[in-house]
Amino acid sequence: MQPTLNDVAREAGVSSITVSRYFNSPDSVREATRLKVEAAIEKVGYVRNLIAGSLASATSRVIPVIVPSLSNVVFIDVIKGLQDEFEAHGYQMLLGKTDYDLARETQLIRTFLGWSAAGLVVTGLRHDAATRQILEHWNQPIVEIMELGEGLDLNVGMDHVAAGRTMTEHLLARGYRDIHFAGAELDRDYRAAMRYTGHREALAAAGIEEAPLLDLPVRQQMTSGAQALERIRDQHLECDAIHFANDDMACGAILAASRLGIRIPDDIAIAGFNGLPIGEHVTPQLTTIISPREQIGRVAARKLLARIQGEPVGELSHDLGFTLRVGGST
């Protein structure tokens, strides 16, 4: 079958452990030996058996990443950031998706830990009891990403309540008073619900007690943004601004507005969240909050790798902040 370390060792006239050292601590083999080993590897066409190595050393260079969905750009960007860093450091990413199901998350984690993973990246701070129990007994580094708070180990993200608050404060400062919040499936997307909480806080601070909410049960985001705009225009003539849970919906609304002859921001102002490229290309440009998606991935990966390599990681919880980008839509 496949050649093994022993085949290489025989070919090179050394012992198998020397070949192993060639791979794992190259500095500890002499130049002359290194060359013999390299020639032997080339000759027999050796490919390392990472499985055997991982079993013997009880560690692997695999890092599972668990996200709720792959349909949401947000997670894609985070994955990109993670992937870049992991790949650059010779770690491999094992990708799992929960579909927002905490039981599925437990199951995935259980399977992944069976790979003697070097660490774990998991989305969010909310887990069920079983997950929590497994992870508390697991003594490898863990990063929980996206939001901030008391976590299992490391934590990298941003403050969604503050983001919602910031946007609504901006809308209030612009003079809008009857502001609706529109999202889709907020029960699943609880980080969007956190932004709604911030939205409510800002309104309350301005003496406005009502915080009308439209929560659509639709997946396709741009379409649901268009729907939300129409719905609110029909049923709430007094509404002067819509604070959308994300840019997809907000851009869907802006594009629908131009079809429907609704003037933005004169008839109604539109705000989003995420800072996707499309927001800069619609007319008027979308006012949004730029979330540090890819950076969350990068920083999470770096902190995890630092922890794995026994280096200092700094603060356990890392707030990457956000930026308000004001466009013509508000």
Q: What residues make contact with DNA under the rule CB under 7 A?
A: 1-2, 4-6, 13-18, 20-21, 23-24, 27-30, 32-33, 46, 48-49, 52-53, 55-58
- C-alpha 188/C-alpha 177 separation (Å) is 28
DSSP 253-305: HHHHHHHHT--TTTT-EEE-SB--THHHHSSSPPBEEE--HHHHHHHHHHHHH
Give ∠ CA 223-193-105 in degrees, rounded to 5: 90
Say whether residue 258 binds a copy of itself (CB under 8 A).
yes
In the bound state with DNA, the residue whose beta carbon lies nearer, of 49 and 309, is 49
Q: Could you say which of 33, 92, 140, 197 contacts a copy of itself (CB under 8 A)?
A: 92
Of 176, 143, 167, 171, whose CA–CA distance to 157 is shortest? 143
Segment contacting a copy of itself by CB under 8 A, of 202-210, 217-225, 238-246, 301-309: 217-225
Q: How many residues bind a copy of itself (CB under 8 A)?
A: 49
- Identify the burial level of 155 via C-beta atoms within 10 angstroms of its C-beta, where 0-12 means exposed, 13-18 middle and 19 or more buried: buried
CA distances from 186 to 51, 141, 143, 181, 226 (A): 42, 30, 24, 11, 17
Smallest gap from Cβ 38 to DNA, in A, equals 13
In the bound state with a copy of itself, the residue whose beta carbon lies nearer, of 50 and 173, is 50
Q: Which does 17 bind (CB under 5 to 8 A by kind): DNA, a copy of itself, none?
A: DNA
Q: Could you say which of 74, 162, 250, 256 contacts a copy of itself (CB under 8 A)?
A: 256
Q: Which does 15 bind (CB under 5 to 8 A by kind): a copy of itself, DNA, none?
A: DNA
In the bound state with a copy of itself, the residue whose beta carbon lies nearer, of 154 and 278, is 278
Say whether residue 130 binds a copy of itself (CB under 8 A).
no
Say whether residue 51 binds a copy of itself (CB under 8 A).
yes
Of 229, 251, 249, whose CA–CA distance to 240 is shortest? 229
x-or-dash pattern for a copy of itself, window 265-294, by CB under 8 A?
A: ------------xx--xxx-----------
- C-alpha 124/C-alpha 238 separation (Å) is 37
Contact of 93 with 310, CB cutoff 8 Å = no
Give ∠ CA 30-35-37 in degrees, rounded to 5: 90
Smallest gap from Cβ 258 to a copy of itself, in A, equals 6
Structure tokens at 215: 């929560």
Say whether residue 137 binds a copy of itself (CB under 8 A).
yes
Positions that interact with a copy of itself (CB under 8 A): 45, 47-52, 54-55, 60, 62, 70-71, 76, 79-80, 83-84, 87, 92-97, 110-116, 134, 137, 220, 222-223, 226, 251-252, 255-256, 258-259, 277-278, 281-283
